[in-house]
Every structure is written in structure tokens, then in C-alpha cells.
Amino acid sequence: MAERRPIEFTAERRVNRAPERVFVVLGDLRRHWPLLGGVLAEAAMLDGERGERARLIVRMPPPFGRLGARRVVETQVLELRAPGLLRGRAAAGASSAEIEWRVSEQPDGRT
């Protein structure tokens, strides 16, 4: 079997909010759920506060979603350093990802 190598990618988004406010949203997994919209079938917290973990059941997009397929995803906050760093992990079956958000104020005043 071929060795699985991690894939690394970067994305950037600027918002008209203070870094502290953005950090509060990212640091609370329950506040992520509305961002998933209609694909979220069920969500439950497993642990709270630091080391927060959640289990999500996500409806798969077409063509799999037409068959009623769903996927269980467990998410976990690994590190919170206010107001600028949040690291987390998401796992679904044999697939997993580590996510890192860096929140900072830009010269134009946006975050």
C-alpha cells in the first residue's frame, strides 16, 4: 500500500469584525454548526470547554446524498490562544485533518 502523505493548503478570508470577536466564534464548536447549513443532520457535544469535542452527522452531497448517505465527523479543539490562534482536528472514518486558524487585524482594520 502506498504511503499516505498529508496535503497542506492555505485559505484566507477577511471579515469586518474585531479579532477578539472572530476568535470567540472559532473557539466554540457550537457556533460552527450554522455555517454547515442544510448538510448538518445532527450535532452533539462530547466534551466542553478546553479540549472541546463534538460529533456531527453530515448529509453527503449528491450523488451520494440522494441515497441517504451520511457521515459521522468528530471534531476537537486542540489549542486555543486568544486572540490569534486556534488549532483543531476533524476525523471521519480513516480520514482526518488538522486545522489551524490564525486571526489577526490587518492594516485596513479588517480581521
If DSSP codes are grouped into helix, strand and coil, which group holds residue 53? strand
Structure confidence at residue 52 (pLDDT): 76
pTM of the model: 0.71
Rounded to whole angstroms, how far apart are CA atoms 69 and 12? 31
pLDDT tens-digit series, residues 51-85? 678 888 887 766 666 677 788 888 888 888 888 88
Model pLDDT for residues 14-25, shown as the tens digit of each residue: 888 888 888 888
For 54, the enclosing helix (H) or strand (E) is strand 53-59
CA 70, 24, 12, 95 torsion: positive or negative?
Answer: negative
Helix (H) or strand (E) holding 75: strand 70-81
Query: Which of 85, 50, 58 minimizes the C-alpha distance to 74?
Result: 58
